[in-house]
Structures are given as C-alpha cells and as structure tokens.
Amino acid sequence: MTTPRAQWGSRLGFILAASGSAVGLGNIWKFPYITGENGGGLFVLIYLVCIALIGLPIMMAEIFIGRESQCSPVGAFRSLSKRGSPWILSGWLGVATGLFILSFYAVVAGWSMHYIVLSLANSFDGKSPDDINAMFGDVASSASINVGWHLAFMAITIAIVIGGIKTGIERAARILMPLLFVMLIAMLIRATTTSGFPRAFNFVFGFHNEDLTATGVLEALGHAFFTLSLGMGAMITYGSYLKRNDDLVGVSLAVSVLDTLVALLACLVLFPIVFTHDMEPGSGPGLVFQSMPIAFSQMAGGGIWATIFFVLLFFAALTSAISLLEVVASYFIDERNWPRWTAAVVCGGFIALLGVPSALANGGAALFSSDMAAGPIGKDWMTMLDDLTSQWMLPLGGLFIAMFVAWRVGGAAREKGFKNGTRFSAMYGGWVFLLRYLVPIGVLAVFLNKIGVFAKLGWM
Ligand code: TRP
C-alpha cells in the first residue's frame, strides 16, 4: 500500500467508534425481544457466558488481525497467510454477511426514523396501550413507510461512509454514544418507580423457565456475535485503523463491557413497561416500538422524551450500520482500488436494493411475509436473513477467525502482538486456550445440536 493508512484520532476515539459499532439495534431492539421470546433469566445467563468466553476472545482475535495486518478482512487474511490460501474465503464470507445484515438492519433503523416523526407529532399522547401496540402493526405492514425510510437510512449511511474514518465515523460516535447511555440511565431511574419493575427484574435475572430450547442456545450464541459486531470482520476493519502498539485487550474489554451494559439496561427499561401494562414479553420485533411509546404516552412532556429516545436509537443504529457498510466498501477500496465514494455508493446502493424484500416482510407484501412464512422456509424474509446471518454465518466466521489466530498465526508473532502495549499480558495463555479449544468446540456443538445430530444419537 502506498498511501498512508487512515487512523483513529485517539484510542478513546477507537473505543467510542468500536462501541458505536457494537451498540446498536442489537442491544436495544433485538436483545430485549429475543430475551422475551426465550423466557428471560436462563437465556440471559447463557448469553453472558457466550459474551465472556466466546465473544471477548474473538473480539481480541479480530482486533489482533486488523491491527497486525493494517488491512481490511480479505487483505488481512491474505497478508497474514499465504497467497491463494483458503483463509481468504473467511474474508469474503464476512463481506457477504455484511451485505445481508445491513439489508434488513436498515429497515429496522427506518422504523426508528418513522418513530421520530411520530414522536415529533406527539402521536402517542393520550393513546391507550392497545392503540400504541396497533400503531406498530400499521407501521410495519406499510410498504411505502418501510421502503421509504429504508432508502433514506441507506442514503445517510452511504454519505457518512464517504466522509471517511476520522471526520465521519469517529465524530458522530464521540458525541452520540455517551448521550444514549445517559438517556437509558434516566429511563431506568424512572422504570424503578413503576409497579412492573420487580417482575421485570426477576424476569431478566431470575431463573424460572426451564424450557429454553436448543434453538434458544444457538440464538444466545448468535446474538453474542451480532451484538459485539463479531464474525464478519467489522472489528478487523476497525482494528486496522489502530496503531500497532495500541492495547487490544483493554479496548476489547471496554467495548464488550459497555455493550453488555447497554443491552441489560435496555431490558431493565423495557420490561417494567411490559409488565406494568400486562403486555406479552414474547411479542416479537415490535417490543421496543410498543413499550417505549406507552411509557412516553404517560409522561409529562412525553412527546419530547420520545423524540430524544428515537433520535438516539436512530444514531445507535447509524453508527452500527456505518461499520457494516465500511466492511463491504473497504474491500473494494483496499483490494480493488476503488475510490472511497464509488465503493460506498455502489455497495450501499446494492444493499439498499437487497433490503427491499425485508422492507416488505412484515406485511408490506404477502410474497415476503405471510406467504413466505407459510411456505417451506417457515419465516418471513427479514427473519430468514436475520436467523441465517446471526445463527449461522457470524458464528461460522467467528470460528474461522478464532482458528486462524489460534492455529495459523505463528506463536511468537501472536504472543508479541497480544502483549504489545497491554497491561493484561497475563491473559495471553487463557486467550489462546479459549480460541483453540472452547470456541471451536462450543460453536460446533451448537451447530451440530441445531441440525439435530445429538438428538439422532439419542444424547438429548
Ligand atoms: N452490533 C450491532 C448491533 O448490535 C450490529 C452490527 C454492526 C454488526 N456491525 C456488525 C453485527 C458487524 C455483526 C457484525 O446492533
């Protein structure tokens, strides 16, 4: 590479941008609703174990690959292995995963934009919880609302990715991530005063339902990847803008802890509303768009608070979407020498098109919603892409990344790289152990279980 590579303005800038990637709809929209669907406590515990023992080591592995190679995923795998080596496939798998994820992610982000408009118009004021629940159904099934906001969201994402690393991504994350955190804390304080809080707390942290299924375990694992932005090279790409002596262990710890905190906070804000108003915790993807407006509808100045909340949700989604597009675009920038703006526009445009079926998947067009759910696939288009990416492609990508660092990268280089600039050198042995054994065995076991191998053997 001839031109000097772009870099983060500071280590804090990296932490904020990486947590901007990690903290997103996954934390505030997806985690609460899948926790609700899987019955709470036990699912949360399995998720936390997955974060600590599988997610964290893989995050360090991704940042390691990026920081050492100073390249985006495909180039990184190439430069750290041999030419023509099959490891490069995992770089491509990542690019494909990014395309798929962003295509449906932008649709949900579009809902947050629509809810900003609804909040500004004070649409929740004086409405009953039932009205507000029904409102979400109307939004989700409207073709024009979904396609329109989806395209608008993609246009904004593309514009920021054109802006580049320091000016675009880092600046946005620096201001908005802390704000989101403060807002959630304020909402939490309010939630503790509601009658549903004790039940909600027990739902999230207590053990009560023992009927978590194998699918639930795979969902927890898949979500650990999704929420930390792992398994497709997003952290490789962000890590590639770090300096070689930046502390990769410290930043991984900071990002994982922050991300987990936001997800748990979101649950502690949403579920009290759910239980106070006798709603169904397992009601699915509409959860955040139904419960939060109900809380706002009963607050003085609710329209303003609702607006602030959905603006922050939108920005959380945006900083994540940027990282998804950045992975795809940086492949064309680094490997094909495309100018940044061409790569952003072409890749983003393609993703926008690919997202149209997702925009129609919640009732907008029967073909992608009810018909599909009734057909052999058994789910609508958006759910299909979500499950395919989080439950299969990300864990598979993560497995490759772990095995690459654990078995392919030379021991001396790995040890030197890990310990470079970190206070946590003592964790080296544990890290390699987890990458070598626990991650592959864990991910494979969950896959095998999901395709029914253990059941056939009579083990479960
Ligand atoms: N982590 C983000 C969220 O929770 C989504 C995301 C952004 C992502 N970049 C990613 C997921 C890369 C997987 C891979 O909303």
The reply to whether 1 falls in a domain is: no
Q: Which residue has the tokens 């993807």?
A: 285
Longest dimension (CA), the chain: 65
Query: What pLDDT sits at residue 146?
Result: 95
Would you say residue 305 has pLDDT above 90?
Answer: no
Would you say residue 30 has pLDDT above 50?
Answer: yes
The reply to whether 4 falls in a domain is: no
The reply to whether 171 falls in a domain is: yes
Query: Mean per-residue pLDDT for 361-382?
Result: 88
Query: Mean per-residue pLDDT for 44-56?
Result: 95
Quote the number of domains for the chain. 1
Q: Which domain holds residue 106?
A: 11-456
Query: Mean per-residue pLDDT for 270-275?
Result: 91
pLDDT tens sequence across 393-419: 999 999 999 998 998 887 888 888 888
pLDDT tens sequence across 87-142: 778 888 989 999 999 999 999 999 999 999 999 998 898 889 999 999 999 999 99
The reply to whether 261 falls in a domain is: yes
Query: What pLDDT sits at residue 2?
Result: 41
Query: Mean per-residue pLDDT for 264-284?
Result: 89
Which of 93, 107, 226 maximizes ligand 1 atoms within 8 Å of its Cβ, making it the mutation to test the pocket?
226
For the CA of 316, the nearest atom of ligand 1: 15
Ramachandran sector of residue 243 (left: φ over 0; alpha: ψ -120 to 50; beta: rest): beta
Query: What pLDDT sits at residue 83?
Result: 64
Q: Residue 435 is part of a domain; what is its CATH number?
A: 1.20.1740
Torsion on CA atoms 84, 85, 90, 91, rounded to nearest 10: -50
Query: Mean per-residue pLDDT for 199-227?
Result: 85
Would you say residue 437 has pLDDT above 80?
Answer: yes
The type of residue at 214 is: A
Ligand 1 centroid to Cα of residue 460, in Å, is 32
Would you say residue 1 has pLDDT above 50?
Answer: no
Query: What pLDDT sits at residue 223?
Result: 94
Q: Which of 26, 31, 29, 37 is nearest to 281 (CA)?
A: 37
Query: What pLDDT sits at residue 411?
Result: 80
Ligand 1 centroid to Cα of residue 411, in Å, is 30
Q: Which of 96, 82, 10, 121 is nearest to 328 (CA)?
A: 96
- Total residues found in the chain within this entry: 460
Query: What pLDDT sits at residue 50?
Result: 94
Query: What pLDDT sits at residue 268?
Result: 94
For the CA of 228, the nearest atom of ligand 1: 1
The type of residue at 363 is: G
The reply to whether 132 falls in a domain is: yes
pLDDT tens sequence across 132-189: 999 999 999 999 999 999 999 999 999 988 886 566 556 666 777 788 888 889 889 9
Would you say residue 3 has pLDDT above 60?
Answer: no
Query: What string of DSSP letters covers 54-108?
Result: IIHHHHHHHHHHHHHHTS-HHHHHHHHS-TT-TTHHHHHHHHHHHHHHHHHHHHH
The reply to whether 6 falls in a domain is: no
Query: What pLDDT sits at residue 454?
Result: 67
pLDDT band at 209 (very low <50, low <70, confident <90, very high): low
Q: Which residue has the tokens 């036990």?
A: 42
- Counting DSSP H helices and E strands in the chain, the numbers are 25, 0
Query: What pLDDT sits at residue 44?
Result: 95
The type of residue at 240 is: S
Q: How far is residue 260's CA from residue 254's CA, in Å, rounded to a whole number?
A: 10
Residue of 350 and 218 predicted with greater confidence: 350
The reply to whether 2 falls in a domain is: no
Query: Any residues with Cβ below 6 Å from ligand 1, and which?
Result: 21-22, 24-27, 101, 226-227, 229, 232, 234, 320, 323-324, 394
Which of 30, 51, 101 maximizes ligand 1 atoms within 8 Å of its Cβ, making it the mutation to test the pocket?
101
The reply to whether 267 falls in a domain is: yes
Q: Which residue has the tokens 């003085």?
A: 300
Residue of 12 and 20 predicted with greater confidence: 20
Query: What pLDDT sits at residue 211?
Result: 65
pLDDT tens sequence across 243-257: 777 888 988 999 999
Q: What is the pTM of this model?
A: 0.91
